[in-house]
Structure 1
Amino acid sequence: VFNRSEERYSIQGLIKKLMIIPSYHALFHELISILLKNNYVQMENDQLITLEKVEYIKEQLDNQPEQLLSLFPELNHFVHLLQTCVSAYPKILTGQESHMNVMFPNGRLDLVEKIYSDNTIADYYNDLLSHFIERYIQQRINLNNGLIHIMEVGAGTGSTTGFVL
């Protein structure tokens, strides 16, 4: 699907043809919205119609990472994660692969560890958060005669916790 202009599909027909599982119908609708907003498809009488621009989408997807990285090499880990996730969409949307296994293959953090830490953006916000938490704790200690309870809640990578501690 979506290989040439003038292809026509109903949304439900496309969901059936691509075997999208129900838990991903909302995401699929959002992906279609992105294609609509960017003029890859148009909606006409409950039919999605592919436009000429769709014929170049694969070429754009193949070239975009290289162009982006030539301008912003520090985004290397983000681009790699994005490419991994996008290439896994067909298996994820059909239930053949878990999204968690794509991002954390065999429970490993390899794909995401440089996203959560060791990059300028994450480090800046983690540092900012750690200073905020430090000031907040000082205020709470002063109000509660030195007594404070702390509970950590997180996704499990520990990158923000490392900054805070």
Structure 2
Amino acid sequence: IDSVTPRHVFRIAFHFGLFQFMMPIIGWLAGSAISTQVITFGHWLAFALLCLIGGKMLLDTRSSTGKKVNADPSRGWLLVALSLATSIDALAVGLSMAFLQISIWLPSVVVGLVAALFSTVGITLAGRVLRRWGRVANLVGGCILILIGVRIVISHQA
């Protein structure tokens, strides 16, 4: 993206908030029917998605010698993949809350709103950073996504 507009901020914050709101509810509704599979493989799915997206960012940074990369994280499948990858753990939380027979609605609303708020702040700041640092910011962003994926796997191994 050349510059971050309010429209970009809204789309990203809305989708991140929506996915963070929906995933615990989906997990809660699914209950124990798929709990073993999600708990066993969910972190690997999040890891794979984050590494693929982060790796693509690194490759785009490396291969872009002066040319602009037109990947817009506020649109299409990239936005869906980022929203999904960052909310898979919320699915497992929803499953856990179903086992404990705890209502999921209030926690889901709070998490969704907080995710949207933090996304708004993060994307707004990222726009300023990208204008100044551009390629370096994309390189760091790709590394951060990969590290988040690694952290998810490590936290599930303990």
| Fold conserved between structures, TM > 0.5 | no
Answer with 1 or 2: which has the greater Rg: 1
- TM-score normalised according to structure 2 size: 0.27
**Structure of greater relative contact order (alpha carbons < 8 Å, 6+ residues apart):** 2
Relative to total residues, which structure has the larger helix share, 1 or 2? 2
Q: Which is richer in strand?
A: 1
TM normalised by structure 1 equals 0.26
